Structure 1
Amino acid sequence: MECVFGLVGNGFALVVADTSAVSSILVHKSNEDKIMILDSHKLMGTSGEHGDRVQFTEYIQKNVALYQFRNGIPLTTAATANFTRNELATALRKNPYSVNVLLAGYDKETGPSLYYIDYIATFHKIEKGAFGYGSYFSLSMMDRLYHSGMSLEEAVDLVDKCILEIRTRLVVAPPNFVIKIVDKDGAREYAWRESIKDAGVSSA
């Protein structure tokens, strides 16, 4: 019952993901961060099989860092998105990754951007997008309430409405979500929306 969604606002891009690590009918943890900070100005929100998701996002992160180390300049968001799409397309013909990606970034020349890349390497630059069962509700809310040039306050309000709709409508809704943003000041965690917390294991 995963859910990852994002949007582009006025000078920033924002990605939201649920934080549940689930296998079949079991919830292993409810504080799994599914949004990888690739570098100072890029975020990658992912959904899919846990092992594939972790391995693929770390692979992309290390290759982005390697490119910057070798060349002295960072990849642009568009170049990172194209590299990510190419890696998924190459793997598709050998050993495919079960991973869907929303890649958000900020570049000085072009500003914020958001890219949709699914597990079969479909690639689009978008203003808003979502993956997972929660996408049925978050996309409909964004279709109704999203507009280009949203302020951060408006965007976070829309995110909260999407989360409320997912929790209300989805039969097995993820309880917790993490919100991260990227703008001219960099990529960073913005907030968590938690309805339950993982309890520590008692030694009694």
Structure 2
Amino acid sequence: MASDTGASYGSTLRYKSVERIKAVGKHSLIGASGEFSDFQEILRYLDELTLSDHMWDDGNSLGPKEIHSYLTRVMYNRRNKFDPLWNSLVLGGVKKGPKGEEKYLGMVSMIGTHFEENHIATGFGNHLAIPILRAEWREDMTFEEAVKLVEKCLLVLLYRDRSSINKFQIAKITTEGATIYPPYSLKTYWGFSHFENPAQGAVGSW
């Protein structure tokens, strides 16, 4: 899972060290785009959920599939109250089951639309990153190969999205637990001729 660390105030990129990937319980990671204060509200819901689950002390714990199902109900409920949480959420994780390691990756939108997939993106990533992932993703990728592919997607998004920021965070999760790496920057090159004069040859007065 990966995201940038920028947060906007209106159309102003004001905060540049906002971490939008969090661990949930023992087996899951959640990432969010959209309104950051609404994401904080969702994290409070998840804290209550995981605490309640822990207090049962029955040797079982919520996996990513159960948490994703919970989030779909929360988002759809708020949408029906005409008070939606303005986020797109990605929920991924790994849990040991009767068939071995059970990997899970799901997405839920602000109106409760949800699905599972091998690779997921939100926002501009739906248009620019998903085609790259469809072309280059393999099920047997190593962690290093996966990071390079994700960085390629992040670089394309950085070049194309004025609200993006060159500061990213990568996270992974295994049956051993979640690891959220410190933010870092990617090497960029802005000398392309189309970057210097993007309107050259465009039709109209813009």
Judge same fold: TM > 0.5, yes or no.
Answer: yes
The C-alpha deviation readout for 1:162-202, integer Å capped at 9, x for no partner, is: 12211223344322111111112111113533269xxxxxx
Which one of the candidate residues 78, 83, 86 is aligned to 2:65? 78
- Residue 138 (str. 1) matches residue 129 (str. 2): yes
User: Structure 1 41/76 Cα, relative in aligned 2: closer, same or farther at 3 Å?
Assistant: closer
Letter in 2 for 1:34: R
- Residue 189 (str. 1) matches residue 180 (str. 2): yes
Aligned-pair identity in percent equals: 22
Partner of 1:5: none
Partner of 1:155: 146
Q: What displacement does 1:138 show? A: 1.4
Partner of 1:21: 7
Letter in 2 for 1:96: P
- Residue 58 (str. 1) matches residue 44 (str. 2): yes
Q: What SS does structure 2 have at the residue aligned with 1:81?
A: helix
Q: Using the alignment, how far apart are the partners of 1:134 and 1:90 within structure 2? A: 26
Q: What displacement does 1:76 show? A: 1.8
Q: Using the alignment, how far apart are the partners of 1:35 and 1:65 within structure 2? A: 19
Q: Is the 8 A contact 1:180 1:191 kept in 2?
A: no
Q: CA RMSD in A?
A: 1.8
Partner of 1:41: 27
Q: With structure 2 as the length reference, what TM-score do the two structures score? A: 0.81
Letter in 2 for 1:92: R
Q: Is the 8 A contact 1:64 1:80 kept in 2?
A: no
Partner of 1:129: 120
Larger strand share, 1 or 2: 1
Larger radius of gyration, structure 1 or 2?
Answer: 2
Aligned length: 182
Q: Is the 8 A contact 2:72 2:113 kept in 1?
A: yes
Q: With structure 1 as the length reference, what TM-score do the two structures score? A: 0.82
The C-alpha deviation readout for 1:13-39, integer Å capped at 9, x for no partner, is: xx1111111012322211100012112
Q: Using the alignment, how far apart are the partners of 1:194 and 1:62 within structure 2? A: 34
Which one of the candidate residues 139, 151, 170 is aligned to 2:161? 170
Q: Which has the higher contact order (CA 8 A, sep 6+)?
A: 1
User: What residue ranges of structure 1 are gaps of 5+ in the alignment?
Assistant: 1-14, 197-204
- Residue 102 (str. 1) matches residue 90 (str. 2): yes
Q: What displacement does 1:90 show? A: 1.4
